[in-house]
């Protein structure tokens, strides 16, 4: 793995000659073939931590949006990630925004995306997940991220989240339930019009309470990093907790393009959410704020700008229970999992 990680920057040069989405498809296929060929090898996955009462072989996982179709998580776990947040899934299939919708900013170790919840819909997604759950290693488990459809009004949004849960729960075997860590309520993608309004006082408490009430799984809420004030952010945290959520994922991508430094204009002109290194400082700050507001016992998952094993250790020492990577995996490869 050490040799691979030192060669990765050279490999990345060639990989990045490909269009980001085509590369994602090719890498996904390669990972699945690798997983298939290694299927008889024993897993080295002794429990190292636990989350939501389940043992995990590592505190690091892949953030939502990498496995949007629910097909890649066993192969990603085989690379060393103990958790994968699949999705985001909406009630019905969506094509997302037209391509190009991913922009790499290599000089900043950043990505801008305006995918818009392209996904197969929860029914098809859940069928894929069920197949994959049979193939995952011991001490690994998934999260399932659910979102509202692009044409659903804010007033009816709660029905979309409940619909997704219902599809999962109405066809759930006990051995599958054991491998699902949590359901993530995604109300923070910047690429579904108005979605982030669900984070505001008028919606968030009601939404969380109604979803928690029907969920068999621990419910986590994924927040954006772009609250106007710290007070608004901590109010959202308090509302999430007081309405029964199990924990919080902080954070999604940012629309504060200024963080992209000399590439700020390029990011702004492309539009969508910025992730990777420019998000690091903000994500660390919000983790600290959330830990203070939530107290020591509420589970927090840290996402945003985790670009190295040292970053993973730092987030854990700052009070994160689990850490997720996305851009760091794209820029530095699978060795990031070994913190
Ligand atoms: C191409 C792309 C697609 C994403 N799709 C989703 C998604 O469907 N749901 C979600 O909650 N987050 C999504 N995200 C956000 C990531 O899960 C993560 O929170 C964000 O990228 C910050 O982490 P990073 O700096 O490690 O990339 C996406 C990110 C990228 C780059």
What tokens appear for 29 in the block? 């296929």
Per-residue model confidence as pLDDT tens digits over 102-136: 999 999 999 999 999 999 999 999 999 999 999 99
**Residue 35, pLDDT score:** 95
Q: Sorting pLDDT into bands at 50, 70 and 90, what band is 19? A: very high
Decide which of 50 and 42 is more confident. 50
For residues 67 and 86, the answer to whether their CB atoms sit within 8 Å is: yes
**Residue 277, pLDDT score:** 98
Per-residue model confidence as pLDDT tens digits over 185-244: 999 999 999 999 999 999 999 999 999 999 999 999 999 999 999 999 999 999 999 999
Q: Sorting pLDDT into bands at 50, 70 and 90, what band is 1? A: low
Q: Is the predicted pLDDT of residue 7 greater than 90, yes or no?
A: no
Bridge partners, 240 (sequence order) = none
Q: Is the predicted pLDDT of residue 3 greater than 90, yes or no?
A: no
Closest residue by Cα to atom 2, ligand 1, is 65
Q: Where are the alpha helices (DSSP H) in 81-229?
A: 122-133, 157-169, 174-177, 201-214
Q: Output the CA 247–ligand 1 centroid distance in Å.
A: 18
Residue 189 a catalytic site member: yes
Pairing between β-strand 273-276 and β-strand 110-113 as defined by DSSP bridges: antiparallel
Per-residue model confidence as pLDDT tens digits over 124-172: 999 999 999 999 999 999 999 999 999 999 999 999 999 999 999 999 9
CA distance 246 to 258: 33
Closest residue by Cα to atom 4, ligand 1, is 65
Q: Output the CA 41–ligand 1 centroid distance in Å.
A: 31
CA distance 328 to 106: 12
**Residue 183, pLDDT score:** 98
Q: Taking the CB of residue 124, how many other CB atoms lie within 10 A of it?
A: 16
For residues 141 and 56, the answer to whether their CB atoms sit within 8 Å is: yes
The CA-CA-CA angle for residues 136, 182, 202, to 5°, reads 155
Which residues line ligand 1 at a C-beta cut-off of 6 Å? Answer: 63-65, 68, 88, 102, 111, 113, 115, 145, 186, 189, 222, 252-253, 275-276, 279, 303-306, 325-328
Closest residue by Cα to atom 10, ligand 1, is 64
- Kind plus residue range of the DSSP H or E element containing 221: strand 219-223
Q: Among residues of the chain, what percentage have pLDDT more than 90?
A: 95
CA distance 283 to 18: 29
pTM for this prediction:
0.98
CA distance 78 to 140: 10
CA distance 299 to 159: 26
Query: What domains can be seen in the chain, in order of their start residue?
Result: 2-337 (3.20.20.70)
From the list 59, 145, 188, 189, the catalytic residue is: 189
- Kind plus residue range of the DSSP H or E element containing 312: helix 309-317
CA distance 306 to 281: 10
252, 302, 311: residue to mutate for ligand 1 pocket, most atoms within 8 A of CB: 252
Closest residue by Cα to atom 28, ligand 1, is 65
Segments of 52-170 assigned E as strands: 54-56, 60-62, 83-89, 102-105, 110-113, 141-146
Per-residue model confidence as pLDDT tens digits over 227-282: 999 999 999 999 999 999 999 999 999 999 999 999 999 999 999 999 999 999 99
Q: Output the CA 326–ligand 1 centroid distance in Å.
A: 6
CA distance 194 to 150: 9
Q: Output the CA 206–ligand 1 centroid distance in Å.
A: 25
Q: Output the CA 259–ligand 1 centroid distance in Å.
A: 16
């Amino acid at each position: 793995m050490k040799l691979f990680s030192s060669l990765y920057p050279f490999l990345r040069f060639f990989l990045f000659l490909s269009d980001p989405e085509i590369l994602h498809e090719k890498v996904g296929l390669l990972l699945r073939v690798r997983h298939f060929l290694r299927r008889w090898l024993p897993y080295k996955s002794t429990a190292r931590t636990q989350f939501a009462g389940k043992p995990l072989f590592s505190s690091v996982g892949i953030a939502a949006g990498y496995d949007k179709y629910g097909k890649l998580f066993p192969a990603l776990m085989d690379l060393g990630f103990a958790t994968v947040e699949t999705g985001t899934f909406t009630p019905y299939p969506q094509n997302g925004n037209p391509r190009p919708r991913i922009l790499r900013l290599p000089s900043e170790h950043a990505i801008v995306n305006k995918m818009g919840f392209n996904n197969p819909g929860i029914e098809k997604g859940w069928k894929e997940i069920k197949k994959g759950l049979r193939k995952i290693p011991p001490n690994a488990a998934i999260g399932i991220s659910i979102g509202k459809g692009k044409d659903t009004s804010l007033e009816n949004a709660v029905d979309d989240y409940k619909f997704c849960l219902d599809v999962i729960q109405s066809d759930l075997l006990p051995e599958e339930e054991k491998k699902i860590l949590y359901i993530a309520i995604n109300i923070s993608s910047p690429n579904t019009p108005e979605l982030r309004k669900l984070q505001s006082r008028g919606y968030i408490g009601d939404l969380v309470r109604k979803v928690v009430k029907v969920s068999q799984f621990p419910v986590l809420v994924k927040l954006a990093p772009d609250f106007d004030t710290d007070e608004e952010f901590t109010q959202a945290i308090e509302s999430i907790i007081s309405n029964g959520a199990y924990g919080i994922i902080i954070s999604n991508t940012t629309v504060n393009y200024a963080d992209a430094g000399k590439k700020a204009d390029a990011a702004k002109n492309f539009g969508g959410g910025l992730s990777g290194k420019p998000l690091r400082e903000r994500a660390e700050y919000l983790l600290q704020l959330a830990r203070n507001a939530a107290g020591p016992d509420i589970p927090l998952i840290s996402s945003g700008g985790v670009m190295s094993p040292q970053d993973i250790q730092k987030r854990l020492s700052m009070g994160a229970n689990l850490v997720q990577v996305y851009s760091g995996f794209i820029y530095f490869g699978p060795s990031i999992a070994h913190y």
